[in-house]
Structure 1
Amino acid sequence: MFPDHASHYTTMPATKNKTSKRTYGGLSEEERIQDRRERFLAAGLEIFGTLGIKGATVRALCREAGLTERYFYESFSDTEALFEAVYEQQSNKLLEFYASGLHHLPESVYDKTVAALNLLFTIMRNDRMVRILCLESVAAGSEIADKHHAKMQLYAEVSVQLIRTLYPNLTLPDDVLKGIAFSLNGACFTVVTHWMLGGYKESQEAVVNSSVLVVQGTMQQLSILNQKNK
């Protein structure tokens, strides 16, 4: 009888301890790590988007996140590693927002252009996103510059697919169309950057209309080539 009671009392505390290690406040250890990581990503967006990568420190990031340095190094090796993660997060957010809107564009090429540019300028009203994607990524280290180049390649490929859809009879090779896409995207991102640096003083309608003229000039030439190949 006594051994049975002894066994009962020695196993119960062990079970409780195991449970306490597994969950805390209703969250597992993995969930708590992910939550802390998300808080640092939000802090990175704020600090990198205002002070820049060169002005950011681990201490400032921890203060913004409300966490200690121990938790910073739990997920990131240094500030550049966090910047890479924030850059990836924001560039994916831009691409997902833009891609989701492409399925609902109007029929005519002109109306498609206006709607697509409105999508771009709408999400780019976030000055922190613009600073990270368009300014800080260019001034950062080589690894981040490589990531930025890869994203620009991806944006260009999406644009080439859109051009092919609009003008299925084009015989221009993909490398030529990709060069056109780089030119158009570069022009639009330049307008976005200057719009942000100027404090978004111009109306969105004005910056969209100016960009539409640039894009439409190219689209008209592509339309002519498309008609010739029918």
Structure 2
Amino acid sequence: MSAEERLADRRERLILAAYTLFASPGFHATTIERLCATARISNRAFYECFSGREALMRAVYDRCVEETLQAITKAIDQAPPELDARIVAGITEYVKFVTADERRARIMHLEVRRAGDVLSNARQRAVLDFTKIIEGTVNDLPVHQPTELHLLSLALIGAVTELLIEWVVSDHPPATEVIVKTAVHVFRRAFIR
């Protein structure tokens, strides 16, 4: 392998190790030494790939968000053109995709918050990306739009986030079908009169 290929391989191994370890035992409980041992690289090689744990967490979180955004966009694009069908398709895919791997759900909805200020910009950017999907879906259709579509979209994202946090942390998590049904109900009340 070339030097660039070796660096890319180490970086990918670190991302995969972090994907598991940042989900459990969690961001704060995971040391660089443990990440390196899991990825089978040296501590020195870690710093050739990332400036620290926070940069690695950002890379893992950004990948989770990007994959989720792609899945949701595809589901909405393939749904019938009616707003209700797009709401159901988008929310169903979001919940299904995020909960298909509990590590993704934990990183996106719990550990990113536990990481604190170091990831607040990445989290805010992700929220805005999800907001754009909602706003774009509603703006594309001839429906009555709330006067503050952006604020409403933020509120709806907050509602879905809290439902998924409950799924992650609860000793008796609600079924994903119940989360979908609840989120769809909230979105319908917001947009369909």
Structure 1 length-normalised TM: 0.77
Task: Note the 1:96-135 alignment, pairs <5 A.
Answer: 96-125=70-99, 126-135=101-110
CA distance in 2, matches of 1:106, 1:69: 51
**1:136-186 C-alpha deviation (Å, 9 max, x unpaired):** 2222242311111121112112211111112366483xxx11101011111
Count the aligned residue pairs: 192
Q: Which position in structure 1 is the counterpart of 2:160?
A: 188
CA distance in 1, matches of 2:116, 2:177: 35
Q: Which position in structure 1 is the counterpart of 2:23?
A: 49
1:211 maps to a residue whose letter is: A
Contact 1:160 1:181 (C-alpha < 8 Å) held by counterparts: yes
Deviation at 1:75, TM superposition (A): 0.7
Identity of aligned residues (%): 26
1:212 maps to a residue whose letter is: V
1:68 paired to 2:42: yes
CA distance in 2, matches of 1:116, 1:38: 29
Q: Which position in structure 2 is the counterpart of 1:14?
A: none
**1:170-205 C-alpha deviation (Å, 9 max, x unpaired):** 483xxx111010111111111112112236743332
Contact 1:106 1:112 (C-alpha < 8 Å) held by counterparts: yes
Task: Answer with 95-104 or 160-169: which moved more.
Answer: 160-169
Q: Note closer, same or farther for the CA distance 1:100–1:31 as it changes in structure 2 (3 Å cut).
A: same
**Structure 1 vs Structure 2 CA RMSD:** 1.9
Task: Answer with 204-213 or 191-200: which moved more.
Answer: 191-200
CA distance in 2, matches of 1:58, 1:132: 17
| Structure 2, unpaired ranges of 5+ | none
**1:179 aligned to which of 151, 161, 171:** 151
Q: Which position in structure 2 is the counterpart of 1:86?
A: 60
Q: Which position in structure 2 is the counterpart of 1:219?
A: 191
Higher RCO (CA-CA < 8 Å; seq separation 6+): 2
CA distance in 2, matches of 1:197, 1:147: 22
| Structure 1, unpaired ranges of 5+ | 1-26, 222-230
Q: Note closer, same or farther for the CA distance 1:196–1:57 as it changes in structure 2 (3 Å cut).
A: same
